[in-house]
Amino acid sequence: MTSLQIYVICCLSFSAFLFVILFGQIPAFHHGPIGWLNRLLLVHIPHLFSVLDQNLFRGILTRVFRRVHNYLWNERNPLVIVFYLTLLVAGAYAFFHNGQEITSQWGFFTWTYILICLSLPCISLFLASTSNPGRITEQNWVQAFRKYPFDNCIFFPQTCSTCKFVRPARSKHCRLCGYCVSRFDHHCIWINNCVGEKNARYFLFFLFSTCQGLVQGCFITGKYVYVRRNRDIALIPSLWNSIRLHRAMGCMFLMSFLISPIVIAFLAFELWLIYTGMTTNESQKWQDIKHLVEDRKLYREVVNGKQRLYLLEDAPPNAELLTSMSQVDNIYDKGFKQNLYSVLTGN
Ligand SMILES: [Zn+2]
Ligand SMILES: [Zn+2]
């Protein structure tokens, strides 16, 4: 097996692994093979490893692994940002170093355009990672509390045990950041920060700029290897030969080609959430509601125009049994335009 084949297999495996780890817990995949693989990798294999380690090494490896795991996933750390920037800088260096045949034909406007495209992911990453995601403090609690009503469906009045106040609807306490975040979406390791009401726009900008960078990189390097292929043989073998002959550009093409779908899927998921008036956190709650409705365990009562949901055992006599999700209102969904406006303005 050649080093290029090993590289391709590594890229493919890494992309698939990343996809399963990042997307396996979202509701759309949770009950399918991707969700199953996610649980295998994150729950069952670590459990087996722990049992073996207890018997063979008295749990030393588990303690070391847990410490590393905690640092990587449960503590704020800049490792993923460093990894992202290293990929970006290394990719740009490899391109400009090996692609002089292409860059020598660029004029002033193309250079300006490419430099803007390259700088956008860095600017958006800086904004997303350093901005306040919507921290709820004693000073702004009243304002945050009044902003969204409790829907008595996925949000009920509850006191945050750390912040010692009633958590406003749509907010959640982030244990990594140590505070409650208004319109909490998720804590993102790529930006080492929470995504919330005030910085969701920068996160969207970050996803969009990364997508455009990858797609353009894929297109430019793909075109490079495509025009240098052997036209006498079939497309795939000739492309493969061209990738082997122009290794740096070929590797960059493969990398951007394999990573692009993951980032595009992320962007599409964020846009879908905006379209449906949900955050990532809320999409998981809605998924739980959906399962209860499917199991015929949820009842709904409307009092003064406001809905309230009950489990079977708590339902009052006049509550109606829910048989479809269309019977449940998402009061936070104001329509795509208004939802998008809220995200883009941070309000
Ligand atoms: Zn809190
Ligand atoms: Zn956080």
**Interval between CA 272 and ligand 1 midpoint (Å):** 27
Report d(CA 170, CA 153) in Å as an integer. Answer: 11
pLDDT at 275: 96
Which ligand has an atom closest to residue 186 CA? Answer: 2
The ligand whose atoms approach the alpha carbon of 185 most closely is 2
| 176 CA distance to ligand 2 middle (Å) | 5
Non-local CB neighbours of 279 within 8 Å, separated by 6+ positions: 170, 183, 184, 185, 186, 273
Which one of the ligands is nearest to 180 CA? 1
**Token representation of residue 166:** 């009633």
Residue 166 CA, ligand 2 centroid: distance in Å? 19
Q: Give pLDDT, residue 73.
A: 73
Tokens of 321: 């049994």
CA geometry: angle 130, 132, 135, nearest 5 deg = 145
In this predicted structure, what is the pLDDT of residue 208?
96
- pLDDT value at residue 3: 67
Sorted by where each begins, the domain ranges of the chain are 1-75, 286-345
Query: What's the 209 CA to ligand 2 centre distance in angstroms?
Result: 22
What's the whole-number average pLDDT of the chain? 89
Which ligand sits closest to the CA of 195? 2
Is residue 193 a contact partner of residue 201, using CB atoms and an 8 Å limit?
no
pLDDT in tens, 131-168: 999 999 999 999 999 999 998 889 999 999 999 999 99
Catalytic site residue from 163, 174, 180, 188: 188
Cβ-contact 237, 231 below 8 angstroms: no
Q: What is the pTM of this model?
A: 0.81
Residues of the chain with pLDDT under 50: none
Ligand 2 center–CA 134 separation, angstroms: 10
- 71: CA distance to ligand 1 center in Å? 21
In this predicted structure, what is the pLDDT of residue 4? 66
CB of 130 within 8 A of CB of 287?
Answer: no
Q: Cα(177) to centroid of ligand 1, in Å?
A: 10
Does 160 participate in catalysis according to the annotation? no
